[in-house]
C-alpha cells in the first residue's frame, strides 16, 4: 500500500536545489516517487510502505538542506525528529558567516566563537575602510589634477581626522547591519566571545573574554580565523612604531613622508592614497611591482605612480631600520632613506598559531595556512577551513564562497569551489584587473597561445574621459581562438573584468567577443575592440564599428 508524506524544505535557493533534494529523497530505500517545489519549499514523497520519517529527514540533511514534517499534513508514521548536527565555527568574518547562515538553513545548530572584533578583516580593517580611503584620495586628486580645461584646479584642504571619522562610522554601520544584525536574526547561531583552542578532535576549550572558560563539543568544525599582516625579519624593525595597514587606515594625521615596504596590492593601494592626500611617499619593493602578474601590469602601474610623484625603489630590501626623534632611518644597499612614518605591507600570515592544530593532526603550511581541498576539507575529515587562514587566494569573495561550500559539505553534501575563473582587482588608479591565465602561465600549462594588447587611446570612452592611461590585453589559444585570460590596466578595470570572466566561464572565443554587442560609450567596449585586433587594425574602424 502506497503511503504519501509531505515535508517542508529549508535552505533551497534555486530550482537546481529542488532537483538535488528530489534526487536525495528518491535514493531512500522504499521511496517510489518524490517531487519538490522550490517556490513552495515543500516535498511530496510516495513510498511503498510506512517507515520512520527520520529516514527522509536525514536524506535531505545529508544533501545539505533542512527538512521537517509539514504542519499541514498528517504523516503516515509517527515523526522522529533527527538530532540537529552541531557545527562549531572559529572566527566571525565573511567565511564564518557564510558557513553559519547556510548551515542553519540546512538544519544544523551552530556555535560561533570570536575573540576579537565581530566581522573579521574585510569590514573592519580591510576592504571597506581601505576602499573608502582610496575614494577619498581620488576626490582629492581630481580637484588638483583633473584633465578638463575650463574647470579650475585647486589644492584640496585635507581634514584627515574628519575623513577617518566618516570612514569608521560607515565601518560600524556595516558591521552592525551585516554581522551583528544577522546574529540576532538567526537564533540557531550561538555566539561565544573568546579564544578557542582544540583540546581534542571534537572539543574546543574557549578562554572567554569575561575571564571564564568553556568547553564546546561539536560534531564538525570550520576554522575561519583569517590572517594578519606579516612583518619581515629586518634588524631593528620590531623596536620601532611602524604601521601595518590596520594602523594606517585609522591614522588621524597625515605623514610628511611615508615609507612603504612592499610591492603588492596593499602596499600600492595605500601608497597612492596617501600620496594623493598630500604625503610624500617612497615605496621599497623586494622585487618589481606586482611581481606575480604579467610584467606589463607592474611596469604600467609604476609609470602611473611615478607620474604622481611617488618614489619607487625596486629590488630593494632594507638591511636595518631605526627610529629616533620622530624619524625612521632605513639602511639600504643603495643608500639611506628617511621618513616620519613607515608602513609595512609585505604580505599576511594565517592566525592559526594558537589553535592547537598540530596536537590534533591538522596539517599547516610554514606560513600557518591550512591546506584544503576543493570541498574546503583539511586532512582531518570532519575539520574544514575557509578564508584567509587557508592555502586559497586571500579575497573576501573567495572566503564567502568557501564558507558556503564548506557548510554544504559539513552537512553531508558535495559542493566544490572552482577557482578556474577568479577575477581579481587592485584598486589603484589605474586599476589592475585580471582573470584567467596570462601568457607565461598559459605556456607553463602547455597551451599554445597568442595575445593582443589594446592601448586605451583606441577606446572611445577613454578618449571622452581624457584618460587613456593603460591597456587591455587578451590571451587566446591559437587555432581554436578560445579565450584563456585577460589583463587590464585601466581607470575602471574592475568594472571591465567581470565581462571577461563571464566570457571565460562560457568558453567564448575571441571571435565571439568581437561579434558581441557592447554599449557605446563604455570602457567595457574595450574588450570587443581588443578582440577585434586579432583579425584587423581597429585604428582604421569608425566609432562603434561592428
Q: Which residues are catalytic?
A: 12, 14, 17, 65, 122, 127, 543-544
**Cell numbers placing 205:** 576549550
- Asked whether 328 and 339 are in contact (CB, 8 A), the reply is yes
Residue 323 contacts residue 344 (beta carbons within 8 Å): no
Are the C-beta atoms of 425 and 497 separated by less than 8 Å?
A: yes
Is residue 441 packed enough to be buried (19+ CB in 10 Å), middle (13-18) or exposed (0-12)? middle
> Apex CA 198: angle with CA 192 and CA 200, to 5°?
125
Cα–Cα dist 490/494, whole Å? 8
Grid look-up 605623514 returns 255
CA distance linking residue 486 with residue 473, whole number of Å: 6
Residues 113/90, Cβ–Cβ less than 8 Å: yes
Burial class (CB in 10 A: 0-12, 13-18, 19+), 432: buried
Shortest CA distance to 136 belongs to which of 475, 488, 429?
429
DSSP secondary structure, 359-394, as one string: HHT----TTSPBP--TT-B-SSTTEEE-STTBSS--
Beta bridge partners of 488: 433, 472
Neighbours of 102 (CB within 10 A): 25
410: its cell numbers: 559539513
CA distances from 462 to 139, 263, 491, 492, 523 (A): 19, 27, 9, 10, 7
Which residues on neighbouring strands pair with residue 128, listed in sequence order? none
C-alpha to C-alpha distances, 133 to 173, 255, 264, nearest whole angstrom: 16, 15, 18
CA distance 27 to 33: 10
Phi, psi angle pair for 370, to nearest 5°: -95, 120
Cell of 321: 631600520
Q: Is the dihedral of CA 452, 455, 458, 464 positive or negative?
A: positive
Beta carbons of 53 and 80 less than 8 angstroms apart: yes
Amino acid at each position: 500500500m502506497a503511503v504519501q508524506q509531505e515535508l517542508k524544505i529549508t535552505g533551497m535557493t534555486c530550482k537546481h536545489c529542488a532537483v538535488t533534494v528530489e534526487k536525495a529523497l528518491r535514493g531512500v530505500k522504499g521511496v517510489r516517487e518524490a517531487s519538490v517545489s522550490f517556490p513552495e519549499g515543500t516535498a511530496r514523497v510516495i513510498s511503498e510502505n510506512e517507515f520512520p520519517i527520520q529516514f527522509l529527514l536525514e536524506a535531505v540533511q545529508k544533501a545539505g538542506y533542512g527538512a521537517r514534517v509539514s504542519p499541514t499534513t498528517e504523516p503516515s508514521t509517527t515523526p522522529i525528529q533527527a538530532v540537529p548536527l552541531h557545527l562549531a565555527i572559529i572566527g566571525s568574518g565573511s567565511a564564518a558567516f557564510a558557513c553559519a547562515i547556510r548551515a542553519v538553513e540546512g538544519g544544523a545548530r551552530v556555535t560561533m566563537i570570536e575573540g576579537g572584533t565581530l566581522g573579521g578583516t574585510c569590514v573592519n580593517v580591510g576592504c571597506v575602510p581601505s576602499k573608502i580611503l582610496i575614494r577619498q584620495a581620488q576626490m582629492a586628486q581630481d580637484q588638483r589634477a583633473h584633465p578638463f580645461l575650463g574647470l579650475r584646479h585647486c589644492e584640496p584642504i585635507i581634514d584627515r581626522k574628519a575623513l577617518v571619522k566618516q570612514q569608521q562610522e560607515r565601518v560600524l554601520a556595516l558591521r552592525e547591519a551585516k554581522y551583528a544584525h544577522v546574529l540576532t536574526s538567526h537564533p540557531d547561531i550561538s555566539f561565544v566571545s573568546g579564544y578557542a583552542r582544540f583540546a581534542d578532535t571534537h572539543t574546543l576549550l574557549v578562554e572567554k573574554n569575561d575571564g571564564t572558560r568553556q568547553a564546546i563539543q561539536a560534531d564538525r568544525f570550520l576554522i575561519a580565523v583569517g590572517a594578519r599582516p606579516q612583518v619581515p625579519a629586518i634588524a631593528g624593525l620590531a623596536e620601532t612604531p611602524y604601521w601595518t595597514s590596520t594602523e594606517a587606515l585609522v591614522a588621524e594625521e597625515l605623514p610628511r613622508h611615508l615609507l612603504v615596504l612592499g610591492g603588492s596590492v596593499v602596499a600600492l593601494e595605500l601608497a597612492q592614497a596617501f600620496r594623493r592626500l598630500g604625503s610624500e611617499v617612497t615605496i621599497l619593493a623586494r622585487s618589481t611591482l606586482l611581481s606575480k602578474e604579467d610584467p606589463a601590469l607592474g611596469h604600467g602601474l609604476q609609470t602611473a605612480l611615478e607620474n604622481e610623484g611617488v618614489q619607487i625603489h625596486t629590488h630593494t630590501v632594507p638591511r636595518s631600520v631605526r627610529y629616533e626623534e620622530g624619524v625612521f632611518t632605513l639602511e639600504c644597499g643603495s643608500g639611506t632613506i628617511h621618513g616620519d612614518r613607515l608602513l609595512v605591507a609585505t604580505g599576511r600570515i594565517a592566525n592559526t598559531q594558537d589553535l592547537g592544530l598540530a596536537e590534533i593532526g591538522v596539517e599547516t603550511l610554514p606560513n600557518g595556512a591550512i591546506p584544503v581541498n576543493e570541498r574546503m576539507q583539511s586532512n582531518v575529515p570532519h575539520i574544514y577551513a575557509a578564508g584567509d587562514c587557508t592555502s586559497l587566494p586571500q579575497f573576501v569573495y573567495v572566503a564567502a564562497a568557501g564558507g558556503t561550500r564548506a557548510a554544504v559539505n559539513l552537512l553531508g553534501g558535495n559542493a566544490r569551489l572552482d577557482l578556474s575563473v577568479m577575477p581579481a582587482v587592485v584598486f589603484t588608479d589605474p586599476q589592475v584587473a585580471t582573470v584567467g591565465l596570462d601568457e607565461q602561465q598559459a605556456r607553463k600549462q602547455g597551451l599554445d597561445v597568442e595575445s593582443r594588447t589594446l592601448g586605451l587611446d583606441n577606446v572611445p570612452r577613454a578618449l571622452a574621459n581624457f584618460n587613456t592611461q593603460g591597456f587591455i590585453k587578451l590571451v587566446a589559444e591559437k587555432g581554436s581562438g578560445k579565450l584563456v585570460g585577460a589583463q587590464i590596466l585601466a581607470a575602471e578595470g574592475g568594472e571591465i573584468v567581470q565581462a571577461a570572466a563571464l566570457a571565460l566561464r562560457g568558453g567564448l572565443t575571441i571571435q565571439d567577443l568581437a561579434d558581441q554587442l557592447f554599449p557605446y560609450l563604455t570602457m567595457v567596449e574595450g574588450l570587443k575592440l581588443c578582440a577585434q585586433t586579432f583579425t584587423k587594425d581597429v585604428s582604421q574602424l569608425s566609432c562603434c564599428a561592428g
